[in-house]
Structure 1
Amino acid sequence: MERLLFPGDPQFWYETLRSFGHIAYGGADFGEVVATSRRITEGDYGSWHDEWLTTADRLAGEAAQALAAGHPVSARDGFLRASNYYRSAEFFLHGHPCDPRHEHAYERSVDCFRSAAALFSPRIEPVQIPYEGTTLPGYLYRADTLGEPHPTVVMHNGFDGTAEEMHFFGAMAGVERGYTVLVFDGPGQPGPLHREGLVFRPDWENVVGPVLDFAMKLPEVDSRRVALLGNSMGGLLAPRAAAFDHRLSAVVALDGVYDLGPAVTNLLPGERSETERRLRADSDPEFDALLDRLTTENPVLRWAINHGMYVMGAATPRAFGAAYLDYHLRDGIASQIRCPALICDAAEDLFFGGQARQLYDDLTCPKTFLEFTAEEGADAHCQAGAQRLALARIYDWLDDTLAATRDSVRALAD
């Protein structure tokens, strides 16, 4: 998609498009995004933070006034947009994890989301999911107040998104269609990372397992019809979990990711094995200098390395690249998935071009490939900017897939 703003910085443009996309489920307003973006200096992380924080603060203040004056719908809508804008404000600050601006904007994002959540009907309930001696934060969305089981989607974000953002990336779309939805942040994602310093782990099945244990006990969950949806890098993590936890009735990769390694190994010509050796070496000043130069030249890589060191717990850019090598679905992992899989693909994916097809081709389970195009305005990573379109197709597939599961269970019972 043509860059309508920030023409010289594809990462700034993508993050702006991301907020444009969240308009579909109440996470932004067009004029607010444009007006804020026009105040930002392209490529300046401080400017990005300051302007989004200004917009978020204004909206949060107006929402609080609306609530005090007895206008709950206006308050809910204002808090929801403020939450997304606070999320955006701290997005580029992760190269300096101790920066107090980072923590402040994140906490304000969560606070505003929870203020909005309390004003939905049914109320969106914050939950704490037991996990390895601690808990993972999340939200339970109910389709109604009857307390009866519904088909369920468990979902999580990816490399840089929050549980709160999944409201726009699939949770509300599920509620509209009668699904129970359970959203969570896993290790490496904002809640556990901010609170306890828990970084990403490649064996994501050991994260999803406790979440499914929790979900299966909820009266609103039909344990025979539970799907898992992973967004962005979650398009690798969710299939990884599905390969080892066969309680799932379906898995959705939004979008499909097969192997994170090439994002780093493709920086050098030659054999991948040699690049991997250099990434894992105790010392390689030449490679370190290359990463420093590329980070200066490439806005996407600059952000990815800054953020990646933070979420992977890596001390150096090269250590981050080495950590990335452990995240893949090669070596027979993808072929262990048994449940039906929907692999989404964006024609002009900024980060993982071609990987959705690789994942799809390696699957042996019932599978569907869903490509989104520029003609549809849906060619960006995770269909940012076309969320109503994308989620309609995804949930239509889930409707049909989980209905078939229900019918199979009934047939066996008869």
Structure 2
Amino acid sequence: MRSSSIVLAALAGLASSQQTNETWVDTGDTLRLSTDTTFHFQLLNLLGMATYRGADVAEVLGAAQVIVPGNFSSYNNTFAELATRKQAQASVAKNKVNARDTFFQAAAYWRDADFFNHGNQSDPIIDEYWTNQLECFTAANSALPVPGEYVTIPTASNFSAIGIFYAADSDTSTEKPTLLVGNGYDASQEDSYHSSCVAALERGWNCMTYEGPGQPTVRRQQKIGFISEWEKVVTPVVDYLANRTDVDMDRLALSGISFGGYLAARAAAFEPRIKALLLNPGVVTVQDGFLGQLPSQFQDLFHSGNKSAFDAIVLAIVSNSSMPSSLRWGIEHGLWAFDTESPSEFLVTTGAMNMTGLFDRLTMPIWLANGTRDDVLSQSLDFVEQVGNTTNVTLVTFDGPEGYHCQPGAASSTNREMFEWLETVFE
């Protein structure tokens, strides 16, 4: 069968087996922000950032009202208009706190304006919108009581890690517990400030965010896609922390969020200076998680080794606006983040991203989040089974409205659980 025939047959099967345009099918008790489940998830995630000054509730709800479900341009344009307005308001604000909070919101809206915009990797908006968000975030950061320190950390590989260190206070002579936070597939370290660092700072912890290959800033500035050997990113960052006078290296915790659940676990397996590991969720194998988003016939085609046919089918999905948003966005962003034009190459690369043979190296206490409605990377239970010393593992289950992937909209609950556990580990 010719590739074109395979494409048509597979797309027909997808259309008949799944609801196109991602019509709402969830049975949970969270208020629907869009009939498109992918849009709903992203809007809920942004809405949740209001807890830590990353958004305004009314503005996000207003955007949700006008965004056309399944229409990427509608989503992007709505937030670009909102971000433009908020940036203008921040720029003329006379009060320092007013300017800071409004710049933080503008930065978050610029990030969302870019979120569904990676289908055309040469589109200048990918860099333009990111420049805008960095400008806004930097302006907000400079108005914090203790501004975060931007650092570029050279590595032994062909890239530099990019990080921001937020000190708990201005005392640089006293060592303090420190949380090192890494995201995964799509979120930025600027997102991490709102989801993790504000909570850490409020509790007297330092917090450092970082990015490596494939992640938003490094991918844009250094043109490098994801790598599997994430210790090449984290170990140089830990070296940086070890040289600071305000970091207690005996109380250093590493957090990995989403796909970062693999990245952090991989890095911790090779970095003994990590004294506590928090994974939200635990990830055993990245490829299984990504392939699991595709219909079974697509998975069979990938495993058959027919790369040209697989690529043709997957790229046809991307160009078909009636296909589910989760598939279209997941493919588009994956190709951009892994710096490739080939879906099969993207997925082959993820094959090396697994924890096989590394679990016995995880000797530090481990905290795992398990979302009962996580349909993205729901591997925490498998992770627990693979870890040899299960007495060293704490599994926290999030259910109901908090049960989605990485608990969007429930950051305060997540941080409560994390820091209660950290207090116990380091008491």
With normalisation by structure 1, the TM-score equals 0.90
2:396 is the alignment partner of 1:381: no
Rounded to whole Å, the distance in 2 between the matches of 1:265 and 1:97 is 22
Counterpart of 2:149 in structure 1 is 125
Q: What is the root-mean-square deviation in Å for CA atoms of aligned residues? A: 1.9
Shift of the alpha carbon at 1:36?
Answer: 1.5
Q: What's the secondary structure of 1:170's corresponding residue? A: helix
* Matching residue of 2:369: 344
Q: 1:107 aligns with which of 131, 136, 157?
A: 131
Q: In the alignment, residue 119 of structure 2 is paired with which amino acid?
A: G
1:52 to 65, 76, 79: 79
Residues 138-189 of structure 1 show CA distances to partners (whole Å, capped at 9, x for unaligned) of 1111111111110111111110011111012211111111111111111110
Shift of 1:333: 1.4
Report the CA distance shift for 1:395/1:305 in structure 2 as closer, same or farther (over 3 A).
same
**Could you tell which deviates more after superposition, 125-134 or 86-95?**
125-134
Matched, 1:370 2:393: no
TM-superposed deviation, 1:276: 5.8
User: 1:165 aligns to what?
Assistant: 191
Letter in structure 2 aligned against 1:129: I
Whole-angstrom CA distance in 2 between matches of 1:10 and 1:126: 35
Q: CA deviation at 1:283?
A: 3.7
Structure 2 residue 61 is the aligned partner of structure 1 residue 43: no
CA distance in structure 2 between the aligned counterparts of 1:133 and 1:258, rounded to whole angstroms: 27
Counterpart of 2:143 in 1: which secondary structure? coil
- 1:357 CA displacement: 0.8
Structure 1 unpaired stretches of 5+: 404-414
The CA deviation at 1:291 is: 2.9
Identify which of 28, 32, 35 aligns with 1:4.
32
Q: What SS does the aligned partner of 1:302 have? A: helix
Structure 1 window deviating more from structure 2 (181-190 vs 287-296): it is 287-296
1:314 shift after superposition: 2.2
* Contact 1:62–1:78 (CA under 8 A) maintained in structure 2: yes
Shift of 1:268: 5.8
Q: 1:17 aligns with which of 44, 55, 69?
A: 44
- The one of 138, 158, 161 equivalent to 1:136 is 161
Distance in 2 separating the partners of 1:360 and 1:3 = 32
After superposition, residues 167-182 of structure 1 pair within 5 angstroms as 167-182=193-208
Task: Provide the rounded CA distance (Å) in 2 between the counterparts of 1:271 and 1:298.
Answer: 15
C-alpha distance in structure 1 between counterparts of 2:312 and 2:152, whole Å: 43
Counterpart residue type for residue 89 of structure 2? E
Post-superposition Cα deviations, 1:201-258, rounded to whole Å, max 9, x if no partner, equal 0111111111101111111111111110011110111011111111110110012222
Residues 85 and 263 from structure 1, CA distance in 2 versus in 1: closer, same or farther, beyond 3 angstroms?
Answer: same
Equivalent runs, 1:394-409 vs 2, <5 Å? 394-403=418-427
TM-score, normalisation: structure 2: 0.87
How has the CA–CA distance of structure 1 residues 223 and 252 changed in structure 2, closer, same or farther, with 3 Å as cutoff?
A: same
Give the corresponding residue for 2:314.
291
Distance 1:338 1:271 in 2: 38
Deviations 1:110-158 (A, max 9, x none): 1111111111112222222222465322111111111111011111111
Q: Compared with structure 1, are the counterparts of its residues 35 and 362 closer, same or farther at alpha carbon in structure 2 (3 Å cutoff)?
A: same
Contact 1:75/1:116 (8 A) holds in 2: yes
Deviates more, 1:314-323 or 1:90-99: 314-323
- 2:426 aligned counterpart, secondary structure: helix
Q: 1:265 to 1:183 in 2, by over 3 A?
A: closer
User: In the TM superposition, what is the alpha-carbon distance from 1:107 to its structure 2 partner?
Assistant: 1.1
The amino acid across from 2:96 in the alignment is P
Aligned residue in 1 for 2:15 = none
Give yes or no for the alignment of 1:318 onto 2:344: yes
Q: 1:172 to 1:254 in 2, by over 3 A?
A: same
**What is the aligned counterpart of 1:211 among 237, 244, 248?**
237
Between 1 and 2, higher relative CO (CA 8 Å, sep ≥ 6) is seen in: 2
Q: Closer, same or farther in 2 for the Cα pair 1:57/1:269, shift >3 Å?
A: closer
> In structure 2, do the counterparts of structure 1 residues 135 and 271 end up closer, same or farther at CA, with 3 Å as the change threshold?
closer
Q: How far, CA to CA, are the matches of 1:12 and 1:129 in structure 2?
A: 35
> Does structure 2 conserve the Cα–Cα contact (< 8 Å) formed by 1:265 and 1:275?
no
2:5 corresponds in structure 1 to none
Is the partner of 1:321 in helix, strand or coil? Answer: helix
- Give ranges in structure 2 of 5+ residues lacking alignment: 1-27
